[in-house]
Chains A and B, each alone.
Chain A
Amino acid sequence: MIRIALEKREDTSPWMSLLSPLVAVALTLVSGAVMFAAMGIDPLKGLGVYFLSPVSDGWALQELAVKATPLVLISVGLSLCYLSNNWNIGAEGQFVTGAICGSWVALASHGAVSGTPYAHLVFPVMMLAAMVGGAAFALIPAVLKTRFSASEILTSLMLVYVAELLLDWLVRGPWRDPKGFNFPQTVMFGPEAQAFRLMADGRVNIGSVIAIIVVVMAGVLMARSLKGFEIRLVGEAPRAARFAGFDDKRLTWAVFAISGALAGLAGIIEVSGTMGQLQPSISPGYGFTAIIVAFLGRLNPVGCLIAGIFLAITFIGGENAQIALRLPLDVTRVFQGMLLFYVLACDAVLNWRISLVSAKGASA
């Protein structure tokens, strides 16, 4: 009999932890090529559609920014959670809740403020409402965790379905556009309630700028501030954090609130910037994909920016592959799943020495 033994490595070089996600990406590409070949598609052509077409022209690059924005915003918030050992899996629900709360502002003010000086305030107030809503929704699993020791993994995940069903009910019921031919969707938001476009005929909106500002702020927070140190210390050694006088319960609330607010912000930017109305489904799974982004980006804000762009490529590549190669959308999911698998596997090999131990002498 042979068993696999894992021994913790004492020395992990910082270069390796940067190399690891690159190795993971390379392995994903190789596995993808094998998968294409097995499906009878020329691997080079398949990979080209997936990974090169999304960065090939100006239109594609704009689309990339639009798709990367929610991923980056959400994953930066999730990184703060994960660093402090708070496993928020429910960013998708916080994204939807933020979109609902922000849209409420847009619908309530619809037609009432256009042309008045208050029109400029509508979008900022929408963002504020979305952040408050996302944060409040994220605080539910946080309070359940600190008050009742309920696993935040389960509660935050299950609340995703609550948020999605709430959205579904709203767009089919009270918020349905009366002149919408019974389609389950709200009215188109007024121009004052739509995210500011950076180029008149382009798709990129102010959200991408906000995402970059958030990355810089989070980077400074984590690298330089006492709060960033507190987040890491609570995650590394909770007892040492208590010895340092940090309140881990309050920190749990804080990181859940921040990540919920960022997910909510991503939600309203997506709805007001690209759709212009609420629909039953507003996310291709940004909240879940952002988990992959956070880990691929080493739980580092700048890393999340790079990883967010990479994952956005797979989203757009997947859409292109549906058209050009007639591949199902599931192939995109397979790519994202393989990527997370390889990231975690590379980390395991990096942090643990794996050896095969023969146990043939053992009688039992």
Chain B
Amino acid sequence: MTSLPHLMSATGITKRFGALVANDHVDLDIAPGEIHALLGENGAGKSTLVKILYGLLQPSEGTLAWRGAPVMLRSPWQARQLGIGMVFQHFSLFEALTVAENVALALDGHESVQAVAARLAQVSSAYGLPLDPAREVWRLSVGERQRIEIVRCLMQSPKLLILDEPTSVLTPQETEGLFATLARIRAEGCSILYISHKLEEVRRICERATILRHGKVIATCDPRHESAASLAQMMVGSKVVPARHDPIKMAGPLRLKVTDLSLASQDPHGTSLKAISLDVRAGEVLGIAGVAGNGQDELFAALSGEVLARNAATITVDGVPAGHSGINLRRRMGGAFVPEERLGHAAAPRLTLSENALAAGHATNGFVRHGFVDKGATLGWVSQVVKAFDVRKGPVDPEARALSGGNLQKFVVGREILRKPGLLVVSQPTWGVDAGAASLIRQALIDLARGGTAVLVISQDLDELFEIADRIAVIFHGELSPAQEAGSLKREAVGLLMGGTGFGKGADVGAERAA
């Protein structure tokens, strides 16, 4: 082993939130100049650990050492003084301010905005991260916003750069650009802690990996000498079986047809839908890919009926105009819906499972007689869903928030699938869900489609769409590309569409960004 002291060492880090142990005696050593991967499933404790390393959280037990000397990090300010920079998964930028103003605000010094802008231009060109200091943030793409965060860290000449799931918001092409930048940063002698659950990325760019599962370190290895399958097995703790996906025999009748749907977003920072057309037939899964924030939320709301279309005929379900029908009318027409947010949208956190079953099923499942709720019927329905989808829960009827993410997701997907709907619209079906639950949900979606349901899946996870979708379309700036057969579609082609190349007006935006 190296005789140099580690740049940063965490020893025996334990962090408890009430009864939950997010980190359980975690050891992590980062050597100078290495790209170190922190690998683990959602909920494995990665984010908690890096928040401790960045001074945002204090450990319940354990110590940190910087270049061999023990340190206490009480705040991010102290971490930045040592030379630790962090790029978060969710950016903290002011939309209405310019790039330079945002950076100046975050720097601890008292430089003028002009001085910051000059330094910013210099740093961004030195690292190949093109940015216009005078542009307002709301005009920028997600990839460009991430660049601001990275440049902001680099301007403080960090010794350790922490990146939390940096590629989850990027197109494949933007990801390549990020990797080139990371190689350059590392060549300057800066260490990088790279948090991810994407195995191929980690194998490509990292020379060491610490793997977390259920808050504990399972292994430390050199990912370049491991296969994706062996890493996955360490991460998940069991073999991951891809969903069984028989080729579609023949598409059935048209179930959902959307024609030229345009809809202004209700959220001032949202994305308006522009002339979206699509159709889903019984028996098939249509996947809609896209980087977050390109109109997925608005599309889901328009399809579910939470937001009504201007013209009833733009959305038809089984040939019947549904654009003016609210969500419960569409449910009675055979529709079923699973929104992206589990807690707060698909389910009310502090209500019980039976009450959450009532929320989604009161119009269709016969839970209500003469305005009064049949509590027994809702409880019976819960036990059916729990049994069919292997939802693990303690008490008979717990509050929704008491379930783990995967189990709650199985419940909110299961309560729709078990109704045997004619049409299912689901957004991010396995977001933040453990691998076992994810594969169960994906298989259930495929099986539902093969049973004669039209299934529409909106997802940011390309791997997921290629695993379950028969056809894939891409949403970008509120426009939807024509759907193409998944079997003959290349990932690169989807990636270009996700970046905007090939869209009518979006084409020049993409070209501008590529330049």
Q: Which residues of chain A have C-beta atoms less than 8 A from B360's C-beta?
A: 243-244
Q: Assuming A226-B362, A243-B360, is B350 touching A236 (CB within 8 A)?
A: yes
Which of these, A7, A224, A363, contacts B18 with CB under 8 Å? A7
Contact B326 A233 (CB under 8 A): no
Contact between A239 and B371, CB atoms less than 8 A apart: no
Which one of B78, B306, B328, B351 lies within 8 Å of A363 (CB-CB)? B78
Shortest B250–chain A CB gap in Å is 34
Does B205 have its Cβ within 8 Å of any Cβ on chain A?
A: no
A359 an interface residue at 8 Å Cβ cutoff? yes
Contact: A245 with B328, CB < 8 Å? yes
**Do the beta carbons of A240 and B346 come within 8 Å of each other?**
yes
Identity of the chain A residue whose Cβ is nearest the Cβ of B350 in the assembled complex: A236
A196 within 8 A of B: no
- Among residues of B, the one whose C-beta sits closest to the C-beta of A227 is B371
Contact residues in B for A232 (Cβ distance below 8 Å): 351
Number of A-B residue pairs with CB-CB distance less than 8 Å in the complex they form: 82
Query: For the complex, is B222 an interface residue (Cβ under 8 Å from A)?
Result: no
Assuming A225-B371, A227-B371, A229-B373, is B74 touching A244 (CB within 8 A)?
A: no
A225, B373: Cβ atoms under 8 Å?
yes
Please state if B373 and A233 are interface contacts (CB–CB under 8 Å): no
> Does B151 make an interface contact (CB < 8 A)?
no
Complex contacts, B75 vs chain A, CB 8 Å = 362
Within 8 A of B (CB), among A222-238: 224-227, 229, 232-233, 236-237
Given A10-B19, A245-B327, check contact A239 B345 (CB 8 Å). Answer: yes
Chain A 238-277 near chain B by CB (<8 Å), digits 1 or 0:
0111111100000000000000000000000000000000
Q: Is B53 an interface residue (CB 8 A)?
A: no
Q: Whole-angstrom distance between the alpha carbons of A226 and B328 in the complex?
A: 14
Of A229, A242, A363, A364, the residue contacting B355 (CB under 8 A) is: A229
Residues of B344-390 contacting chain A, CB below 8 A? 344-351, 355-356, 358-360, 362-363, 368, 371-373
CB-nearest residue of chain B relative to A360?
B74
Among the listed B19, B304, B372, which residue makes an inter-chain contact with A243, where contact means beta carbons less than 8 Å apart?
B304
Q: For B367, give the chain A residue with the smallest CB separation.
A: A226
Shortest beta-carbon distance, B363 to chain A, in Å? 6
User: Which A residues, 200 to 232, have Cβ-Cβ distances below 8 Å to chain B?
Assistant: 224-227, 229, 232
Least CB distance, A100 to chain B, in whole angstroms: 33
Chain A residues whose C-beta falls within 8 Å of the C-beta of B17 in the assembled complex: 7
What does the 1/0 interface line of B327-353 toward A look like (CB < 8 Å)? 110010000010101001111111100
| Complex-state Cα separation, A137 to B463, whole angstroms | 57
Contact (Cβ within 8 A) B306 A226: no
Q: A225-B371, A245-B363, A363-B78 are in contact. Are A237 and B344 (CB under 8 A)?
A: yes
A10 near B359: Cβ-Cβ < 8 Å: no
In the complex the two chains form, is A245's CB within 8 Å of B326's CB? yes
A359 touches B74 (CB 8 A): yes
Cβ-closest chain B residue relative to A7: B18
Task: Select from chain A the residue with minimum beta-carbon distance to B360.
Answer: A244
A361 within 8 A of partner (CB): yes
Cα of A363 to Cα of B326 in the assembled complex, Å: 56
Q: Which of A7, A243, A359 contacts B346 (CB 8 A)?
A: A243
Q: Given the interface contacts A236-B349, A245-B326, A363-B78, does A226 sit within 8 Å of B304 by beta carbon?
A: no
What is the CA–CA distance of A232 and B326 in the complex, to the nearest angstrom? 21
Contact of B72 with A by CB under 8 A: yes
4 smallest CB-CB distances across A and B, nearest first, come from A245-B328, A237-B348, A244-B359, A362-B74
Known A-B contacts: A225-B372, A229-B358, A363-B78. Give 5 more (CB < 8 A). A233-B359, A240-B359, A243-B360, A245-B331, A362-B74
Interface, chain B (partner A; CB < 8 A) = 17-19, 72, 74-75, 77-78, 304, 306, 326-328, 331, 337, 339, 341, 344-351, 355-356, 358-360, 362-363, 368, 371-373, 402
| 10 A/B residue pairs, CB under 8 Å, sorted by A | A10-B18, A226-B358, A229-B358, A229-B362, A237-B345, A240-B345, A244-B327, A244-B359, A353-B18, A362-B75
